[in-house]
Structure 1
């Protein structure tokens, strides 16, 4: 079920959002929806990463390169 969310934004942000909407030929609501999804996904990723980081460090996985080596 879809929900409506009401937020307050500055006039400047509204203008910027409208410019993006016009340049991408997308409704403002689509841009805001995509932005919220990206934000939530990033926060979720960071929470998971924070939980598994001690285990990765214990295995010597400290960098992206270490991760890619393990995946090969």
Structure 2
């Protein structure tokens, strides 16, 4: 079930959004929905990273290369 929300944005953001709707052939809702989805994914990643970095460091994993060697 979909819900409707109303937001206010500065004129410059509305103009950029409207420009993007024309360029991408999407409506405002589609663009804002995708932007929110990406925001939530990033927030979840940051939350998980905050939990996992200390655990990785305890295991001696400090760099991307350390991760690569562990999973290869």
Q: Give the structure-1-normalised TM-score.
A: 0.92
Unaligned runs of 5+ in 1: none
Deviation at 1:43, TM superposition (A): 0.4
Q: Distance in 2 between matches of 1:3 and 1:18?
A: 22
Unaligned runs of 5+ in 2: none
Cα RMSD (Å): 0.9
Deviation at 1:68, TM superposition (A): 2.0
Three-state SS of the structure 1 residue aligned to 2:46 is helix
Deviation at 1:65, TM superposition (A): 2.2
Q: Does 1:28 align with 2:28?
A: yes
After superposition, give the CA deviation of every residue in 1:28-50 in whole Å (9 maximum; x if it has no partner): 11010000000000001100110
